[in-house]
Structure 1
Amino acid sequence: MEDRAFSYLQPSENPYQPSPSNSYSSQMKSGIVIRELLAKSPRCSICTGVVPRQAISIDHNERRQDGGAASVDNAQLTHPYCNTGFKEARISKTRKTRATTGTLF
Structure 2
Amino acid sequence: MDVLLHFFVALHIIGIASLLGGFLTQMKAMSAGTARFGPAMLHGALLMLITGMILVGINEAQGHALNHIKIGIKLAILVVILGIVYVKRDEEKAEKGLFAAVGALTTLNVFLAVLWV
Bin for the TM-score computed over the shorter chain: under 0.3
* TM-score (normalised: structure 2): 0.24
Instruction: Indicate the structure with greater strand content.
Output: 1
Please identify which structure carries the higher helix content. Answer: 2
Asked which structure has the greater RCO (Cα within 8 Å, sep 6+), the reply is: 2
